[in-house]
């Protein structure tokens, strides 16, 4: 297998992805249903078996050298320790290996790199079920969501970055005979434009989406010729370790240095993050995680001239104004509140409703009734024995449970209390159904904080305009990764759109079916705008790629 | 005249520019010769008359409001005061007007903005000769160079930014009906992607290239929907004031707010730069100028999360190894050293020559002879009564003359002393021909500083490889905007190319005709790489455009 073979083999996939990025039409290279009909009848059982076989053993899939110890501390939120250990590689070794490996990697064309990366994604996709179980038991997501987020959806985000990287690097010709007319003759210069990567690209992962939030930066860094060091959160290593391992094997198979991508596993006791972040060879940093360390990332990057793409936290708002079918929209909203128990950076938190209530099908419905029916719809999902537990999943971090207690202790009126969720077969699962509190509009000191987890506030406002003002102000000051507005009034829709767009926040209207505000689709929805305090990254706009490389010109006087 | 008319009218120009940006082939929308046959037989006389008419009067071309005083301190390096005064507008007024004006500007499509901008360039191009005289008498450039740099070349750089801005903003569709298959049905979402500018774009100009170094950032900011405030150096206002005035008039003519672009004229006594730079509404800063204030720009931008594109200073190296025709290459090099008396950021400073000399047509030529013949070629240009004075021009800043004295006082062996240049008709002209000193390779503390102006060092090195190492190290540590290597040895060429590209510096080989290393051609040569300490800007790579706007998604549930 040569790189040339891979370029041929994956050219249609690349072209499809390039086209989808441009048209923004629906495109998914990997089907999202975790179905035996698609992935093979034994795929689920095989994946689960592979995951179980890995438990309580050392992860041996990586090809990288220089390890000096074993570390591992993953705990399933479903109630057991994974017991997986990983090789620990010191920072200086990681950096040296990354720097060496980058030399030949950056000499490839963008399409050659893309082909190698797509091959790795294809190979790793054979392990979607194993990755799904690894994700379920690190993040606490229900299996279907875990499969989708770390499998097809996360991989489509990777492919999106790869395709956009090719587009960005092919915007300019790489060679030209430049011929300037000079009266009757001409002077000719042979020009060559060389794309050079900025340097080592550090990608710092999070616990809740260890693949989905890592692949965009990781593959953006790689396709533009940088070496990448993936620094997963020590509590969520296994899903991305499998992806890195498959990529290292493909690199070696085509004769490249597998250290083009490395895994920097560390421990809570001895974290590597700051040392990596501050290393002068690291020129690009992708970070997903809490805003406190996000501020450190930004600050170090700013002081040292590094490029930093962050996605930290936002306070996402919903505004209820009017609808044709109240149950349909409340079902959609309730689903968004329940999905993975609010542990998505895009999950709604603050639900504004004008005090005079909503107009539904032309008739007024009192605010109290809207609230009551919203809680009914949440209850219906939580109490759905078949679908509820998988939808809610478990709680990744014990601190999130504490935050539910903290919210409860605020003393606000409870529209719905949080409770534990029965997960059959997982007696030790950590769970919490949504807590819904009522706040008054002047309690912005409470509701304009991010309450990460299954915590929502319903807030009555004077008017729709008042709600829009509050949502826009909140997005501007505290960031937002989503906004959801229900209105059948065109004037109100325009007003909300203008206000939120001006605040740099994305906005969605009237979702009432099988699309939810907390999901963003690769190749079509930009995840994050980079235009508000929720972060500087947008998966994947042009900046996300073009900031990772420079163009250096080489000019040669052509021989007459 | 409507914007729609302009879109039609300028679509061919825009398409030509978009194509040239992509192919990097020779393209010039405005012819570079200051010729009556092209621009009209009376164009030169009319332009000179218009310039002279402006002297000792108030500049009344701007449409912007809110001025509170008159300022003006331009002095011609050719020996007289311009006496032109400009309206002084306070920072808060500038910012408010910019913010208001941006609202409707950002609602236009990229192509609409491009059409308005091209119209303004076309109208201003009717004043190329006037701009040329204004440039000559602020920068000290000879007239031909002043005409070209602030006229056709500077305008082509503007058009390059406009065209690349359209490319960047049209990478993604702006609307799509996204339809996701769901078994037998589908869910459809109407999506709209809104490009939003980052905010007010401040463009800080320099004294030596008040148009050429201002138009790239100015038009990049404008085409991406930002309002722009042009803050020229108080010693070089008039050339860019004419451009801003023409643009304001076109904006007003098509019904837009002329404050989309404003001129912030200040004075040395009461500079506005820091106040503008630090204003929170300013989100993008373009800066050309000295490295000391450049560091302030970077620091303020980093602390406040602004985007900053800088071009400060570099130390540009030449390496002499081998050639077919020694006089041809030394003529080219001598021209580059003389052009505008070394006051270009791309001008060569350090000339490395291996101690064993050069190989010329297969025969060795001693280092001493190469040096002597280089000085001969410089003398031939300096003493050419017809071409010499225009080529050398005058010295913009008295500090540059002092720097020549400072260099002379280093006590290094002089290969050529600097002297004044006779400029017929301009008795008070400030001039200095090239000072060429000899340094030893271990005097890097001297020659690795930037000696802006007509100051060059010839440095013998042990070997060619030694010279390459020094040039690459210097580029990495002190920045470089050009590198020029003369070698007929393919192995040496490859070695030099790899070393300089790795250092992030552009490189040119064997220039021996009518292309010079200090010139970079719009649509083909990237000016600056952004990959070394000479600055973060590259005119115009994709980052230069994509960092100026964000994409915000608007999603609407489609009615079934």
Q: Determine the Cα angle at A208 with ends A206 and A209, to 5°.
A: 75
Return the pLDDT at B183. 85
How much is the mean pLDDT over chain B? 97
Q: Alpha helices of A289-361 — where are they, by DSSP H?
A: 291-304, 326-338
**Rg of chain A taking only CA atoms, in angstroms:** 25
Kindly state whether A530 is in contact with chain B, defined as any CB-CB distance less than 8 angstroms.
Answer: yes
Q: What is the pLDDT of residues A401-417, one digit of tens each?
A: 999 999 999 999 999 99
Confidence class of residue A560 from pLDDT cuts 50, 70 and 90? low
Q: What are phi and psi of A82, to 5 degrees?
A: -75, -35
Tell me whether residues A187 and B513 touch, CB distance under 8 A.
Answer: yes
Q: Which residue positions in chain B have pLDDT lower than 70?
A: 560
d(C-alpha A388, C-alpha A386), whole Å: 6
**A522 pLDDT more than 80:** yes
Q: Find the residue in A nearest to B188 (Cα).
A: A515
B488 touches chain A (CB under 8 A): no
**pLDDT at position B260:** 98
Taking the CA of residue B84 and the nearest CA in chain A, the distance in Å comes to 38
Which two structure tokens, joined as six digits, stand for B220? 């990049």
Question: How many C-beta atoms lie closer than 10 Å to residue B113's C-beta?
Answer: 26
Question: Does A103 touch chain B if contact means CB atoms closer than 8 Å?
Answer: no
pLDDT in tens, B21-77: 999 999 999 999 999 999 999 999 999 999 999 999 999 999 999 999 999 999 999
User: How many CB pairs lie under 8 A apart between chains A and B?
Assistant: 204
What pLDDT was estimated at residue A525? Answer: 98
Residue B125, Cβ density class (10 Å: 0-12 exposed, 13-18 middle, ≥19 buried)? middle
Are residues A198 and B531, on separate chains, in Cβ contact within 8 Å? Answer: yes
Confidence of residue A302 (pLDDT cuts 50, 70, 90): confident
Six-digit token string for A528: 């994050």
Taking an 8 Å cut-off on Cβ atoms, the answer to whether B531 and A171 are in contact is no
How high is the pLDDT of residue B303? 86
Percent of chain A exceeding pLDDT 70 equals 100
- Tell me what the mean pLDDT of segment A129-136 comes to: 98
Question: What does pLDDT average to over chain A?
Answer: 97
Q: CA of A193, closest CA in chain B: separation in Å?
A: 9
- Long-range contacts of B9-17, Cβ-Cβ distance < 8 Å, separation of 24 or more: B9/B115, B9/B119, B10/B114, B10/B115, B10/B118, B10/B119, B10/B122, B11/B115, B13/B118, B13/B159, B14/B111, B14/B114, B14/B115, B14/B118, B14/B162, B14/B163, B14/B166, B17/B159, B17/B160, B17/B162, B17/B163, B17/B523
Query: Do A182 and B514 count as a contact with CB atoms less than 8 A apart?
Result: yes
Residue-wise pLDDT for A210-232, tens only, equals: 999 999 999 999 999 999 999 99
Tell me what pLDDT residue A313 has. 87
ipTM exceeding the 0.90 mark: yes
Note whether B176 contacts A25, CB cutoff 8 Å. Answer: yes
Nearest-angstrom CA–CA distance, B285 and B150: 21
Residues forming a β-bridge with A71: A86
Q: What is the mean pLDDT of residues A421-447?
A: 97
pLDDT at B560: 60
SS3 of B531, please? coil
Chain B contact probe: residue of A106, A551, A559 with most B CBs at under 10 A? A551
> For A356, what's the count of Cα atoms within 13 Å in the CB-facing half-sphere?
11
Q: What is the pLDDT of residue A183?
A: 85
Q: Determine the distance in angstroms separating the CA of B219 from the nearest CA of chain A, rounded to an integer.
A: 18
Restricting to A residues 338-377, those with a Cβ less than 8 Å away from any Cβ of B are none
Interface of B with A in 294-313 (CB under 8 A): 298, 302-303, 305
Chain B closest-CA separation from residue A511 CA (Å): 5
Output the six-digit token pair for B119: 């119209």
Contact yes or no for B546 and A551 at CB 8 A: no
The 10s digit of each residue's pLDDT in B207-227 is 999 999 999 999 999 999 999
């Amino acid at each position: 297998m040569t790189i040339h073979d891979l370029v041929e083999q994956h050219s249609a996939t690349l072209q499809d992805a390039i086209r989808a990025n441009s048209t923004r039409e629906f495109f998914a290279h990997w089907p999202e249903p975790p179905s035996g009909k698609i992935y093979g009848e034994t795929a689920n059982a095989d994946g689960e078996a592979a995951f179980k076989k890995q438990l309580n053993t050392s992860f041996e899939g990586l090809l990288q050298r220089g390890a000096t110890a074993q570390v591992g501390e993953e705990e399933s939120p479903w109630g057991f320790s994974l017991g997986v250990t990983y090789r620990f590689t010191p920072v200086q070794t990681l950096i040296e290996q990354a720097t060496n490996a980058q030399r030949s990697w950056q000499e490839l064309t963008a399409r050659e790199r893309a082909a190698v990366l797509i091959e790795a994604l294809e190979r790793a996709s054979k392990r979607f079920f194993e990755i799904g179980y690894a994700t379920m038991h690190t993040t606490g997501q229900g299996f279907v969501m875990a499969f989708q987020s770390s499998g097809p959806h996360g991989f489509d985000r990777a492919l999106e970055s790869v395709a956009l990287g090719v587009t960005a690097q092919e915007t300019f010709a790489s060679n030209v005979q430049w011929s300037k007319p000079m009266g009757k003759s001409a002077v000719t210069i042979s020009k060559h434009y060389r794309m050079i990567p900025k340097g080592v690209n550090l990608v710092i992962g999070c616990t809740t989406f260890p693949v989905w939030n890592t692949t965009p930066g990781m593959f953006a860094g790689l396709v533009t010729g940088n070496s990448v060091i993936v620094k997963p959160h020590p509590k969520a290593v296994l899903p991305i370790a499998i992806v890195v391992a498959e990529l290292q094997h493909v690199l070696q198979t085509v004769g490249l240095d597998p250290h083009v991508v490395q895994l920097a596993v560390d421990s809570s006791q001895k974290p590597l993050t700051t040392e990596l972040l501050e290393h002068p060879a690291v020129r690009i940093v992708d970070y997903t995680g809490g805003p406190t360390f996000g501020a450190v990332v930004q600050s170090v990057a700013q002081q040292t001239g590094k490029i930093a793409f962050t996605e930290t936290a936002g306070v996402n708002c919903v505004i209820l104004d009017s609808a044709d079918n109240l149950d349909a929209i409340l079902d959609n909203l309730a689903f968004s509140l329940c999905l993975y128990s609010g542990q998505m950076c895009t999950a709604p938190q603050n639900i504004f409703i004008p005090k005079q209530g909503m107009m539904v099908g032309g008739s007024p419905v009192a605010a109290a009734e809207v609230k009551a029916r919203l809680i009914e719809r949440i209850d219906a999902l939580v109490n759905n024995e078949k679908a509820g537990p998988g939808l809610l999943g478990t709680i990744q971090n014990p601190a999130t449970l504490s935050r539910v207690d903290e919210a409860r202790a605020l003393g606000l009126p409870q529209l719905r209390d949080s409770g534990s969720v029965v997960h059959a077969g997982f007696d030790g699962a950590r769970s919490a159904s949504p807590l819904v509190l009522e706040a008054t509009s002047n309690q912005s000191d409470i509701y304009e904080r991010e309450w990460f987890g299954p915590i929502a506030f319903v807030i009555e406002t004077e008017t729709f305009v008042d709600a829009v003002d509050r949502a826009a102000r909140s997005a501007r000051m505290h960031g937002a990764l989503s906004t959801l507005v229900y209105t059948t009034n065109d004037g109100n829709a325009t007003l909300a759109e203008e206000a939120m767009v001006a605040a740099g926040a994305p906005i969605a209207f009237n979702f009432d079916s099988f699309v939810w505000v907390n999901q963003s689709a690769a190749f079509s929805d930009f995840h994050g705008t980079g235009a508000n305090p929720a972060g500087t990254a947008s998966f994947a706009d042009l900046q996300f790629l073009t900031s990772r490389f420079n163009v250096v010109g080489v000019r040669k006087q052509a021989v007459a």
